């Protein structure tokens, strides 16, 4: 199947500053892709270009087979802005009703949408009285209107509590299962790694990494850490037997490359009579993320 979103060599500068440099990516139908990067990495700029809100300086982009921002593209794309804002004088129901009518849909389904995001009880209250999390849910509800083929979600879970986050990702799973392509941005790798199919890391306007988490883990090739507890009196023996091992806080600490991990473990197990315990600590998600996002930018 062809991609819902195809971007190649996209470039955008703001007053001489490179916001995006030769960014390429694709998102296929039913695929959930996370866009990661720190503040100013270019995530929001990239999303605004996909939505046709700003025009790129160079590169090609195709959204559902149409130009970004064209009527055909807009009819099939839903957007959730970073801080979803609405007119405070409108009720949630009125706001969703307007958005449904703008998409030429029967607004009688508005209440059902609000129920799906858990806002039915507040549907008739003014959005001005909503909490940040509730406003975010209104934003989410409007992104679910119709059957969007592509969802562009800018930090969709900011302001949501852990339970709401879980509900949110369950909603996304359902949408992806129906064939929608999903591009969502986030600061935190820990949050999205289990809920998305592929990760993209932007840094300083460049795409610095792309792939599944195991791909990225392999590519980063960060060392594995091991903590050993030696039996009384054997500590010096253990340190001497293992290259690169050091003593710290009564433990023996060492690191080794991914591909040396098994060899190291067999050396350790060879002297199992001297060791009481062993912890293997793979590089954390944050370590991997930091590795990529610092490599080029900053």
Partner 1 sequence: MIARILATAATEIHIARRNRWVLIAVLLMVVFSLVLSAAGSAPTGALGADRLSVVVASLTSLSVYLVPLVALLMSFDAVAGEVERGTLPLLLTYPVARWEILAGKLVAHTAILVVAIAAGYGAAAAVAIITDPAALAGLAALWRLTWTSVLLGMAFLGIGYALSSLARRVSGAAGLAIGLWLGLVVLYDLGLLAAVVADDGGFFTTQVFPAALLANPADAFRLFNLTAAQATSAASGIGGAANAIPQWQSLVSIALWPLVSLALAALAFRKVEP
Q: Which residues pair with 80 in a beta bridge?
A: 153
Maximum distance among all Cα pairs of the chain, rounded to whole angstroms: 78
The least CB distance from residue 171 to partner 1, in Å, is 19
DSSP element (H, E) containing 23: strand 17-27
Residue 202's nearest CA partner among 32, 46, 2 is: 46
Binds partner 1 by CB under 8 A, chosen from 5, 23, 84, 134: 84
Radius of gyration of the chain (CA): 24
The least CB distance from residue 267 to partner 1, in Å, is 58
Q: Quick check: 130 binds partner 1 (CB under 8 A)?
A: no
**114 neighbors 147 (Cβ within 8 angstroms):** no
Q: Quick check: 132 binds partner 1 (CB under 8 A)?
A: no
Instruction: Please list, in sequence order, all residues whose beta carbon lies within 8 angstroms of the beta carbon of residue 199, skipping any fewer than 6 positions away.
Output: 33, 34, 36, 189, 192, 193, 209, 210, 211, 212, 213, 216
The least CB distance from residue 132 to partner 1, in Å, is 13
Using the contact rule CB under 8 A, the part of the chain among 93-101, 172-180, 216-224, 240-248 near partner 1 is 93-101
Q: Quick check: 99 binds partner 1 (CB under 8 A)?
A: yes
The least CB distance from residue 97 to partner 1, in Å, is 8
Give the count of beta carbons closer than 10 Å to the beta carbon of residue 46.
29
Size of the site for partner 1 (CB under 8 A): 31
Binds partner 1 by CB under 8 A, chosen from 3, 98, 158, 290: 98
Task: Retrieve residue 63's tokens.
Answer: 């959204």
Binding mask 32-71 for partner 1 (x = CB under 8 A): ----------------x--xxxx----------------x
Burial class of residue 158 in the structure, from the number of CB atoms within 10 Å of its CB (0-12 exposed, 13-18 middle, 19+ buried): middle
What is the dihedral angle through the alpha carbons of 62, 65, 71, 75, rounded to the nearest 10 degrees? -110
Using the contact rule CB under 8 A, the part of the chain among 100-108, 178-186, 207-215, 266-274 near partner 1 is 100-108
Q: Which is nearer to partner 1, 129 or 212 (CB)?
A: 129
Task: Return d(Cα 48, Cα 61) in angstroms, integer.
Answer: 12
How far CA 55 is from CA of 49, 70, 98, 153, in Å, comes to 6, 12, 27, 19
Binds partner 1 by CB under 8 A, chosen from 32, 33, 56, 79: 79
Residue 14's nearest CA partner among 77, 57, 76, 61 is: 57
The least CB distance from residue 9 to partner 1, in Å, is 23
Task: Return d(Cα 298, Cα 290) in angstroms, integer.
Answer: 11
Q: Which is nearer to partner 1, 34 or 110 (CB)?
A: 110
The least CB distance from residue 181 to partner 1, in Å, is 16
Binds partner 1 by CB under 8 A, chosen from 31, 94, 155, 235: 94
Q: Quick check: 74 binds partner 1 (CB under 8 A)?
A: yes
Interacting residues toward partner 1 by CB under 8 A: 48, 51-54, 71, 74-75, 77-79, 81, 83-87, 89-90, 94-95, 97-99, 101-104, 126, 139, 142
């Amino acid at each position: 199947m062809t991609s819902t979103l195809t971007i190649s060599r996209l470039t955008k500068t703001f007053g001489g500053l490179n916001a995006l440099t030769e960014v390429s990516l694709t998102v296929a139908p039913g695929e959930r892709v996370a866009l990661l990067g720190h503040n100013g990495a270019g995530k929001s700029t990239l999303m605004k270009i996909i939505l046709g809100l700003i025009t790129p300086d160079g590169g090609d982009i195709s959204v559902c087979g149409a130009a970004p921002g064209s009527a055909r593209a807009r009819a099939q794309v839903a957007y959730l802005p970073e801080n979803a804002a609405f007119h405070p004088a409108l009720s949630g129901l009125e706001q969703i009703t307007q958005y449904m009518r703008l998409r030429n849909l029967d607004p009688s389904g508005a209440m059902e949408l609000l129920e799906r995001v858990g806002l039915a009880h507040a549907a008739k209250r003014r959005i001005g009285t909503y909490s940040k999390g509730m406003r975010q849910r209104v934003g989410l509800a409007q992104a679910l209107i119709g059957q969007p083929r592509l969802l562009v979600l800018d930090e969709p879970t900011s302001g949501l509590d852990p339970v709401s986050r879980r509900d949110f990702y369950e909603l996304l799973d359902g949408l992806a299962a129906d064939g929608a392509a999903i591009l969502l941005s986030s600061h935190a790798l820990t949050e999205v790694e289990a809920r998305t199919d592929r990760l993209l890391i932007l840094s300083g306007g460049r795409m610095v990494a792309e792939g599944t988490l195991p791909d990225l883990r392999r590519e980063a090739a960060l060392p594995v850490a091991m903590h050993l507890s030696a039996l009384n009196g054997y500590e010096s023996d253990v340190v001497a037997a293992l290259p690169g091992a050091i003593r710290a806080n009564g433990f023996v600490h060492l690191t080794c490359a991914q591909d040396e991990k098994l060899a190291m473990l067999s050396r350790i197990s060879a002297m199992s009579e001297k060791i009481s315990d062993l912890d293997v600590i793979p590089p954390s998600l944050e370590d991997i993320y930091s590795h990529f996002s610092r490599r080029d930018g900053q």
